[in-house]
Amino acid sequence: MQRRLVLLLALGASALAPAGASEDAAWAALRRGAIALVRHADAPGTGDPPGWKLDDCSTQRNLSATGRADARALGEALRTRRIPISRVLSSPWCRCVDTARLMDLGPVQMEPTFSNAFVLSDRRDELTAGALAVLRGWKGPGTLLVVSHGSNILALTGRSPASGEVVVVSLDAQGDVRVEGTVLVKSR
């Protein structure tokens, strides 16, 4: 029995180690000017309500109070760690734009190729190809920060991020996306 407990504790500790290592690697990569792919902060629900309109935030799923606080906390964490954000791009969906603006890291530019690939599933391949072109075109200096949707980040990285999670990536010599690590900052 005691042997099983020791084994379970050892397995549990090893399962926790990669998450910390991933976060440390992510912060280090961001300091070197990697690309930050941010899933918008908490916006309860899935997709958007029927009849949503891109130019009318009242028809979309929007950030919760927790989401707004988490977006501010993530911006503060990036500033505190002196991450050199040079450019901020956002999906035109209100929850993404609001996340980017609340982070307060600089002017936010709408980039339609990061539009919601879940809602626009018939355009997923086109959106992903456009997003890859933007990432491949980034030469710095500093960090490119992109606020988008979970389905878009999944298509680019194979990772399904939590709300407000940052998937830090770089591009290899062939222009393929390589995940450096992840960061999740919460306000609470």
CATH code: domain of residue 149: 3.40.50.1240
Please state, in angstroms and rounded to a whole number, the distance separating the CA atoms of residues 118 and 126: 13
Number of domains in the chain: 1
Q: Is residue 36 part of a domain?
A: yes
Q: Is residue 15 part of a domain?
A: yes
How would residue 21 be classed by pLDDT, with cut points 50, 70 and 90? Answer: low
- Of these ranges, 48-52, 116-120, 180-184, the one predicted with the greatest mean pLDDT is 180-184
Q: Is residue 72 part of a domain?
A: yes
* Phi then psi dihedrals of residue 154, to 5 deg: -60, -45
How would residue 20 be classed by pLDDT, with cut points 50, 70 and 90? Answer: low
Burial 164-174 (b: 16+ CB within 10 A, else e): bbbbbbeeeee
Query: Tell me, what's the pLDDT at 140?
Result: 87
Structure tokens at 112: 């339609």
Indicate whether this model's pTM tops 0.95: no
Over the stretch 153-187, which tens digit does the pLDDT of each residue have? 999 999 999 999 999 999 998 999 999 999 999 98
- Crossing angle of helices 65-80 and 94-103, rounded to 10°: 40
Please state, in angstroms and rounded to a whole number, the distance separating the CA atoms of residues 36 and 23: 13
Structure tokens at 43: 């916006």
Q: Is residue 128 part of a domain?
A: yes
Domain that includes residue 106, residue range: 2-183
Q: Is residue 188 part of a domain?
A: no
